[in-house]
Chain A
Amino acid sequence: MIEKKGSTLVIIILIFLLSLMSGCTDSEENNDGEDFEFTLLDGTIKHLSDYRGKVIILDMWATWCGPCAYQMQELRNIYDAYDRNDLEIISLNVDPRENSQIVNDFIEAFKNQYGIELDWIFGQDDGSVWEEYKMVSGGIPTLYMFDQKGRIHFSHEGVAFFSEIPQGLPDDSVILKPKIDELI
């Protein structure tokens, strides 16, 4: 009887220790955070990990995508509202047919048409970022928010707004400000 109780106790302790160990492994993985490589419009290679310590909003887009252009205006508001030591925005063009010249032309045209300067980090994806982070529908814009350690805090497919939902749009539209403020 005592032997049986002893072995049960050993099993319970073992399970407890194993669960603790697995917990340690998980937290170590989380500390590493996400990472990916992309190319700036001037050809410089960058990594998400280069921006550790800041909240990063990754915006995957293409020049032909109307909702993505709308998203740019919301990103402008976010970019203006936070300090550069706290938050960066990375807009990655995920259409392999579009080169940096096309993106530069888009930025120029956007400035001329709307008077909005798109002066945050713009880059090109070689397909690897899209492959890793595209969501169920595979639509753009697709947004990810990474915390200061590079962990995914939030992801969303479709236009998301900074602090207010424009009139006429669904009430359940995504607002980004509270999600950013949770991290900063």
Chain B
Amino acid sequence: MKNNRKKYLVTFLFLGMILFTSINVIAVDPTLESFSIDPEEPAPLSDITVTADIGGEGVTAVIVHIKECNKAQGLCFSQQSGTMTELETGKFQAQFTLKEDKADYIQYYFDITINGEETRLDETWTIDLLVDSNNNTSNGDNGTPGFELIILIIAIGVGFILFRKKRL
């Protein structure tokens, strides 16, 4: 009788241990193990390839969101989102074309679907874009052309009057 009790207790503990271990395996949180952008320092309006290694069981979909912003102006222009293609287990890839010539950095973050449930990874990553320092995109003069032309016309007019006066 005592032996039977002991056997039951050991079996119960053993089953409990197995169950506990399996729960732990199912509950593994998704993690972004590595991430890369090609090219590493993209330029505005360029094509980029985003590759991510996602750890964790049951990952069925990964969506990457990329926003294009400008630090100096404190502006964001657009956000693109794309479902990443699974190249091999846990390795996902997506391609984007950056849309904004005035952006000087991009930020990206991920939504991961595990067993049908979507989770947003807490972290947001930032990459500076390769901006041509000579390319002044926020040139305020662009909106008001013609002032130079007016000055030129006035100068020609004054010159013409002076020229005629001298001839007379």
Contact = CB atoms under 8 A, between A and B. Distances in A.
Interface stretch (B10-18, B29-37, B72-80, B128-136): B72-80
Contacts of B72: 170
B102 A139 contact: yes
Contacts of B79: 62, 64-65, 95
A33 interface: no
A157 B77 CA distance: 11
A139 B77 contact: yes
Nearest to B99: A138
Interface residues of B, number: 16
A131 B27 CA distance: 46
A64 B77 CA distance: 11
Contact of A67 (B76, B81, B138, B143): B76
Given A64-B67, A67-B69, A137 B76 contact: no
B74 A137 contact: no
A157 B73 contact: yes
Is the interface on chain A under 10, 10 to 19, 20 to 34, or 35 or more residues?
20 to 34
**Main secondary structure on chain A at its contact with chain B?**
loop
Secondary structure of the B side of the interface?
strand
Contact of B74 (A67, A97, A136): A67
A70 B74 contact: yes
B107 A137 contact: no
A136 B77 contact: no
Interface in A163-184: 170
Interface string B27-47: 000000000000000000000
A137 B102 contact: yes
Q: Which of B72, B74, B79, B138 has the most CB of A within 10 A?
A: B74
A68 interface: yes
A107 interface: no
B91 interface: no
A159 interface: yes
Nearest to A138: B77
B95 interface: no
Interface of B: 65, 67, 69-70, 72-77, 79, 81, 102, 107, 138, 143
30 contacts: A62-B76, A62-B79, A64-B65, A64-B67, A64-B76, A64-B79, A65-B79, A66-B67, A66-B107, A67-B69, A67-B75, A67-B76, A70-B74, A95-B79, A97-B81, A137-B73, A137-B77, A139-B69, A139-B76, A139-B77, A139-B102, A140-B76, A140-B77, A141-B74, A141-B75, A157-B73, A157-B75, A158-B70, A158-B73, A158-B75
Interface of A: 62, 64-68, 70-71, 95, 97, 136-141, 157-159, 170
Given A64-B67, A136-B143, A139-B102, 7 more contacts: A65-B79, A66-B69, A70-B74, A95-B79, A137-B70, A139-B69, A159-B75
